[in-house]
A and B are shown apart, each in its own frame.
Chain A
């Protein structure tokens, strides 16, 4: 003990002031708006090397020339990019003075999720002493990882401590010019996570941002880079099932995965950003670029359970570069009220004997719109490539929509591609059947929906799957009509 979070915060505060900035910026929060000065400010604030500043500035130049994409099946008022604060130090994140100040609705939801009291308090930033406990837990994990040579730290730390690795791999899968939001992220990202698994090492635990508590409150523009060296394995969990009431309008994250020869990365996400209220007001715009590259006999498996955000635009993809590499995508996307989701994957088969599997389960409720958009691309050298896609949609009401946009581009005649799709409405008969057996409507919907999503939920690590199930039930509470 002896070093409390308050003291840590104080230290950080002093540190910030030490830098002494140009012009009139006195706080550790950048003024609203985006220009070259802001980017230089962020980079300086983070004490970044010259090459990274150049990376950012180049991305910014590219971004200025780009226009926001409109091809997705979503409608929203475009964010005003000059009305966003691009840098705000972590201590600015909202904290509650005491447990009594926490929004009761938020407490109720967390209770339903089965999150322990301590965890609830930690998530809302209350109870310093518990945070201390948690820090020590995190530290003991870190020691274990260090022993194996595994690097797991914030992106900012990685830039300082492992610049060569970051420089080598950053932007190698998602180039800064990739798309509008990736370019924006490349210019202004403030933090994120970095993970490196050395050759032949099998990471003994699920790596999760959960353990990196004191680096919580990552900004709107986070970047994740996971590098699995030859023959290594890692399972990475992103996000937290707790209701992060983030009021930020825009989240534009970039995730890059690199699986070198014979390596395997399992990347699981449970996302429940604020979806807006029942009338469709507010909520997060979640525009994320996620992509992984597989070298020889490598495997990348994406699993996502998406229940949050007002607008989601996200396509975790695999570039199957090496021969015999494998890409998988398992997804459950739930939309309720006025939520809109356009999500799916891209499987790009470059190497021979590459294999991909896509299992997508969309659930639409309320007046929401849920779209699957997927691309299976077989390049001319990808002989014997195989793909299996299954896209199912479940409708909860008469007012919602489900859409499927599968694209297939095949340039090799030896490829084998299968696509299956179904659309069904949740049956009043199914619910009545459950009720007649004494099961409440809430539990009935949860049972039916979880049954429908089983193939995807089975891919999640145990505890995560349990929370995801509860989350699905909460997202769809009272939604049958």
Chain B
């Protein structure tokens, strides 16, 4: 699905990613954990194509395409979805209109006819139920006046509507109470299939009680320094990140 090799990225001259390697196959869920400032959100931004970041070395293969050569919108159209840590408000633009535009742009890219209004609304009903999103929210302006939990649920709703190959959840659990967390995680689990994959970026182990990862990676100082099965998350929860930092720093010393 995605193969990241020796990825180096910097912003305003400061190197954040320092040779990151990661391979995710279809049907897998990978969790990326790590202390603050490790580069977790940078990784999400770089993969999605934020222009502020400069890629200085490395390659990313996304389903046979050179991801780094693709525009932000084409990455999305090829099936890369980012659930934002801080979803953006777009006043006056209804969620439905926004999503319909997105769905049709993706369809056009794939050479398909625009979706019919009937099919689209059917899909809206079906997918909003999946994340227990009040259907009223679907007709409200994008994220405008939404609570923190509603915004995050709306991200998963959009993900359900766009049916991506690879979803990257950037700290989707931050700011969620336990009920919202469960709803969001249920949504993600229901969307899981052998054809798609998911990268869950999180600071806490909490979310991983609900979304069971196949692999857990620790990102520290711009690189993945430790990988393991889901139990690694529990170990991190218990022992914190310091022991990993020490391990890495002693190797580098």
Which residues of A are at the interface with B, using a C-beta cutoff of 8 A? 427, 429-430, 432-441, 443, 447-448, 450-455
Task: Determine whether B237 belongs to the interface, using a CB cutoff of 8 Å to chain A.
Answer: no
Tell me which residues across on chain A come within 8 A of B98, comparing CB atoms. 434, 437, 447
Tell me which residues across on chain A come within 8 A of B109, comparing CB atoms. 438
Tell me which residues across on chain B come within 8 A of A447, comparing CB atoms. 90, 93, 97-98, 101
- B105 & A452 in contact (Cβ 8 Å cutoff): no
Question: Which one of A429, A440, A453, A455 lies within 8 Å of B73 (CB-CB)?
Answer: A440
Tell me which residues across on chain B come within 8 A of A440, comparing CB atoms. 73, 105
| A443 and B81 alpha carbons, distance in the complex (Å) | 19
- B102 & A438 in contact (Cβ 8 Å cutoff): yes
| A440 and B74 alpha carbons, distance in the complex (Å) | 9
| A453 and B93 alpha carbons, distance in the complex (Å) | 10
- B72 & A436 in contact (Cβ 8 Å cutoff): yes
- B73 & A433 in contact (Cβ 8 Å cutoff): no
- A433 & B49 in contact (Cβ 8 Å cutoff): no
Contacts A/B (CB < 8 Å), 12 sampled: A427-B88, A434-B98, A436-B48, A436-B49, A436-B76, A436-B81, A436-B82, A437-B162, A438-B102, A441-B73, A448-B90, A450-B92
Task: Determine whether B50 belongs to the interface, using a CB cutoff of 8 Å to chain A.
Answer: yes
Which residues of B are at the interface with A, using a C-beta cutoff of 8 A? 48-50, 71-73, 75-77, 81-82, 84, 87-93, 97-99, 101-102, 105-106, 109, 141, 158, 162
- B76 & A443 in contact (Cβ 8 Å cutoff): no
Q: Shortest Cβ distance from B81 into chain A, in angstroms? A: 8
- B73 & A438 in contact (Cβ 8 Å cutoff): yes
Q: Shortest Cβ distance from B88 into chain A, in angstroms? A: 4
Tell me the interface secondary structure of chain A in the complex: helix
Q: Shortest Cβ distance from B43 into chain A, in angstroms? A: 15
Closest A residue to B84 by CB, please name it: A433
Tell me which residues across on chain B come within 8 A of A435, comparing CB atoms. 49, 71-73, 76
- A454 & B73 in contact (Cβ 8 Å cutoff): no
Question: Which one of A436, A441, A451, A455 lies within 8 Å of B93 (CB-CB)?
Answer: A451
- B73 & A439 in contact (Cβ 8 Å cutoff): yes
Question: Which one of A439, A443, A454 lies within 8 Å of B92 (CB-CB)?
Answer: A454
Question: Which one of B89, B99, B101 lies within 8 Å of A443 (CB-CB)?
Answer: B101
| A41 and B83 alpha carbons, distance in the complex (Å) | 71
Closest B residue to A437 by CB, please name it: B102
- B93 & A450 in contact (Cβ 8 Å cutoff): yes
- B102 & A451 in contact (Cβ 8 Å cutoff): no
Question: Which one of B91, B92, B162 lies within 8 Å of A438 (CB-CB)?
Answer: B162
- A452 & B91 in contact (Cβ 8 Å cutoff): yes
- B92 & A453 in contact (Cβ 8 Å cutoff): yes
- B88 & A433 in contact (Cβ 8 Å cutoff): yes
- B91 & A437 in contact (Cβ 8 Å cutoff): no
